[in-house]
Amino acid sequence: MNRINKDKAIESRKGKRKTKVFKLMEGHCLDGNQGIYKVQEFLGNGSFGNVVKCTKLGSQECYAIKIMNCSRAGQEEFEMMKLIKDLDPDENHLIKMFECFTFHSVTCIVYELLDVSLFDSYKRDSSTRTHLCLIRVIAQQLLKALKALKSIGVAHCDITLDNIMFTDPDSVNVKLIDFGLAVETKKLSTETDIQVTPFRAPEVILGLPLDESVDMWALGVVLACVYFGNYPFPSKTEYETIRAMVLCTPEEYTETTGQQVEIKNHVINLDAMMHEHRDMFEAHDDDDHRAFIDLLKNMLEVNPQNRITPIQALEHDFITMKHLAGKTIPIINSRGATEKNETPA
């Protein structure tokens, strides 16, 4: 199946092509099992229907309710949320679900209300690069999420910039959302339609056996985007994507193999990317940049068997900051503000 058909198959799995028309308006009330929810505003839409901000009548509490027109897709997402319910959602940076109910034949899943997605946050000001210390916090939190999911044998299968959201504007705390494509790892087969371009892992493109390491690849793409301000691989055609994934420039390929590469198109060189990024900050630490690029290369390892695991990544120098011992580094206390701090020698 080609890329476009795969993306369509994913939309169809998520319910886009089976839409029951249910006109929801601001001010409408939804009868849940744990209360009545009044629709305040529309927060977003996707393949499934809408996400609305609601208040629970008789309280000040706000929620995000995902209204799913396709009850099969809604039920599948709910089943997956039940599977992860024993994982502490705050500790593991996973979205918290409160309840699920049916209203006018549509499935409504009540989630905690979050702030903005990584995509929206960086879209607002794509000209500025993200400080490495902020990237470290985000990376550590999401690696914890992957570790927790792996521990119960679940693969998210749809990690993108859209599906990672900040919990509030005043702190750096992210959560993984949208378990609509999540699957028990043991049920993953080459036939399963997962991931969207440009976050799709090479083994998914090539139709090879899959496991939860597809999520590590996608997280690598996310971190590269946040660092570089652009996708690390071209994604117009799967041919270009696969070609770029070897992570070396045509010159490097020629140097190591002696073979000339005839067609040249853009392949982002991670080491070159590092020089560009660090020059954008007054205070930068080369060792820290090198540590980040090393982690990234291990996440974007083409062979899933050699790809870094969440536990290994959490022990990587970039995350533990071993390589920064005794140096003064900024602490990120909110999405923009920084303070200086000395790490123990």
Ligand X SMILES: Nc1ncnc2c1ncn2[C@@H]1O[C@H](COP(=O)(O)OP(=O)(O)OP(=O)(O)O)[C@@H](O)[C@H]1O
Q: Which residues carry a binding-site annotation?
A: 66
Does the protein bind ligand X through residue 43 (CB under 6 A)?
A: yes
Closest among 79, 220, 73, 77 to 146, alpha carbons compared: 220
Q: Is 168 among the catalytic positions?
A: no
Among 24, 64, 135, 204, which residue sits at the site for ligand X (rule: CB under 6 A)? 64
- Shortest Cβ distance from residue 122 to ligand X (Å)? 13
Nearer to ligand X, 10 or 308 (CB): 10
Contact positions with ligand X (CB under 6 A) in 193-252 = none
Of 80-88, 138-146, 175-183, 239-247, the window that binds ligand X (rule: CB under 6 A) is 175-183
Contact 277, 232 (CB under 8 A): no
Q: CA 298, CA 129: separation in Å to the nearest integer?
A: 22
Q: CA 321, CA 280: separation in Å to the nearest integer?
A: 21
3 state DSSP class of 178: coil
Nearer to ligand X, 63 or 318 (CB): 63
- Shortest Cβ distance from residue 87 to ligand X (Å)? 17
Q: CA 30, CA 38: separation in Å to the nearest integer?
A: 6
Chain-centroid distance, C-alpha 242: 20
Nearer to ligand X, 92 or 117 (CB): 117
**Which residue is catalytic, options 7, 158, 271, 294?**
158
Q: CA 196, CA 183: separation in Å to the nearest integer?
A: 15
Contact positions with ligand X (CB under 6 A) in 112-131 = 112-114, 117
Does the protein bind ligand X through residue 146 (CB under 6 A)?
A: no
Q: Shortest Cβ contact with ligand X: which residue?
A: 46
- Shortest Cβ distance from residue 41 to ligand X (Å)? 10
- Shortest Cβ distance from residue 160 to ligand X (Å)? 7
Nearer to ligand X, 81 or 244 (CB): 81
Return the H-helix or E-strand segment holding 9.
helix 3-13
Place of tokens 């305040």: 40
CA-CA-CA-CA torsion sign (9, 14, 20, 22): negative
Q: At 141, which amino acid appears? A: Q
Contact 89, 175 (CB under 8 A): yes
Place of tokens 């371009």: 197
- Shortest Cβ distance from residue 133 to ligand X (Å)? 26
The footprint of ligand X (CB under 6 A) covers: 14, 43-44, 46-48, 51, 64, 66, 95, 111-114, 117, 162-163, 177-178, 180
Give the residue numbers annotated as catalytic, written as ranges: 158
